[in-house]
Amino acid sequence: MSQLKFYQYATWSLLFLNIAVLAFFFLTKPKPPHHKSPGDFQSEVIEILHLSSRQVSTFRELAYEHHEKMKSINGRQQRLLLPYFGNLADSASGLNEEDVLTQIQQLEREKMQETYQHLLEIKNLLDDVQVPRFKDFLRIFTDRILMNENKNQPPPKDSD
C-alpha cells in the first residue's frame, strides 16, 4: 500500500468519524424543557375528572367566565393600589387609607367567594362516578393556587 493510499483512507475515515460524531450529538440533543401554559391546566383537569365531551364544553365555559371575573377583580384592585401607594409621594391627595384597605379586603373576599362558587359549579357538573375524583382535582387546584402565591414571596428570615 502506498503512502498516498494510506493517507486517503485515513482522511476518509476521519471525515466519516467526524460526521458520525456530529450526527450523534444532533440526534441525541435533549429537548428544551416544556413549560405548561395555563391552558394545559384545563386539559389536566379534564383528564383527572374524566369529563365527557358535553362536560368539557361546559367546563371550558365555566373556566372562561371565572377567568374573566378574576381579571375584572384584579383590575379593580390595581386601580385602588396605584393611588394608595402614590399617596406616599403626595400626602396632600386626601386619600383615606382605611377606606382603600377596606375596599381591597372586600375585593379579596370577592375573589375567594367567586372561586368557591366556581369550584362548586365544577362539582355540580360531575356525575356520580366522577365525584370521587373531585377530591384529587381540589388538592391539585389548591396546591397550584398556594404555590403561585408563595412563589413570589421572599423566604422567611432566620430569627436569631
Q: Decide if 125 is inside a domain.
A: yes
Q: Exposed (0-12), middle (13-18) or buried (19+): which is 122, by Cβ within 10 Å?
A: buried
Q: Decide if 32 is inside a domain.
A: no
Closest CA to 118 of 156, 52, 73: 73
Q: Decide if 53 is inside a domain.
A: yes
Q: What is the pLDDT of residue 34?
A: 59
Q: Decide if 74 is inside a domain.
A: yes
Range of the domain at 107: 39-147
The DSSP line for 4-39 is HHHHHHHHHHHHHHHHHHHHHHHHTPPPPPPPPPHH
Q: Decide if 67 is inside a domain.
A: yes
Q: Decide if 118 is inside a domain.
A: yes
Per-residue pLDDT of the chain (160 residues; tens, 9 = 90+): 789 899 999 999 999 999 999 999 888 888 776 555 555 788 888 898 999 999 999 999 999 999 999 999 999 999 988 888 887 777 666 778 889 899 999 999 999 999 999 999 999 999 999 999 999 999 988 888 767 754 555 555 655 4
- Running DSSP on this structure, what letter comes out for residue 153? S
Q: Decide if 15 is inside a domain.
A: no
| Cβ pair 84, 95 in contact under 8 A | yes
- Cell output for 58: 361546559
Ramachandran sector of residue 87 (left: φ over 0; alpha: ψ -120 to 50; beta: rest): alpha
Q: Decide if 143 is inside a domain.
A: yes
Distance (Å, whole) CA 134 – CA 160: 44
Distance (Å, whole) CA 56 – CA 148: 25
Cβ of 120: how many Cβ atoms within 10 Å? 10
Number of domains in the chain: 1
Distance (Å, whole) CA 5 – CA 11: 10
Domain CATH for 121? 1.20.120.1490
